[in-house]
Amino acid sequence: MKHASTRAVYAYWDQRRGHRPAPSRDDIDPAAIRQALGDTFLLSADYVDQLRFRLAGTRICALFCRELKGEILAALCSEDSRKILEDALSVIAEENAGVVAGLTGHADDGATIELEILLLPLARVGHARTSVLGVLTPLAPVYWLGAKPVLTLELATVRHLGAAAGAQRLTVPLGGSQLHHGFTVYTGGLAEPSTERAG
């Protein structure tokens, strides 16, 4: 985790969950992470819907030059990155593991911005199938922030962290791999069995 907001929110989430897999939404006091609130968001989904923004900090909305409430997180990503993000979100829901990722944001005129995203599970309450506390923040300021919107997010690396006791931490390599219930499956390998023998 490279950004101060990412580290602060993760440390608070980790402290609030204690020995549980994840804290509940009621356990999170916005005042305790007030320095990071502009970079913080909350996602939730019911039984049939995708994860949508319920809250998004002012600096996140400035990235996209609009209010994000009600929008689907995965829809902000490129087509290639969307499937990887959806796989990572499945791990959050099934294994109570957090995710930190590097992204590149692309503006319409070709300008780019390097970003970090943190996704942390919250315990299920009521009809919400999944709830996620997150951070999305630039790694360095850019002069055009808030003047023109980021149109597409491209994932660079995805790392799972903070899983419940006994769960393994893993990294999802981008391109040529698939994530299946905690395992990373790489495509490729030998086209034919080797006929050589050791010795």
Residue 137 is assigned to a structural domain of this protein: yes
Position 119 in a domain: yes
- Measured between alpha carbons, how far apart are the two ends of the chain, in Å? 46
CB 146, CB 160: distance < 8 Å? no
Say what the pLDDT of residue 26 is. 87
- Which helix (H) or strand (E) segment holds residue 15: the answer is helix 4-17
Give me the domain span that covers residue 33. Answer: 4-186
Please name which of 143, 167, 144, 171 lies closest in space to residue 155, comparing C-alpha atoms: 171
Domain containing residue 146: CATH number:
3.30.450.20
Are β-strands 183-186 and 177-180 bridged in parallel, bridged antiparallel, or unpaired?
antiparallel
Number of domains in the chain: 1
This prediction's pTM: 0.78
Q: What is the pLDDT of residue 165?
A: 39
Residue 135, in any domain of the structure: yes
- Is position 166 within any domain? yes
In a domain, 128, yes or no: yes
Give the pLDDT score at 78. Answer: 94
Per-residue pLDDT tens digits of the chain, which is 199 residues long: 789 999 999 999 999 988 888 888 889 999 999 999 999 999 988 766 788 999 999 999 999 999 999 999 999 999 999 988 888 888 787 778 889 999 999 999 999 999 999 999 998 766 667 789 999 999 988 999 889 999 999 998 888 875 543 333 434 444 444 444 443 343 344 444 444 444 4
Phi-psi region of 147 (alpha: psi -120 to 50; beta: other; left: phi over 0): alpha
Residue 195: inside a domain: no
Query: Which amino acid, 198?
Result: A
| CA 136 – CA 57 distance, rounded (Å) | 9
In a domain, 197, yes or no: no
Structure token digits, residue 103: 């992204």
Nearest to 39 by CA among 133, 108, 144, 104: 133
**24, 125 contact by CB (below 8 A):** yes
Q: pLDDT value at position 123?
A: 86
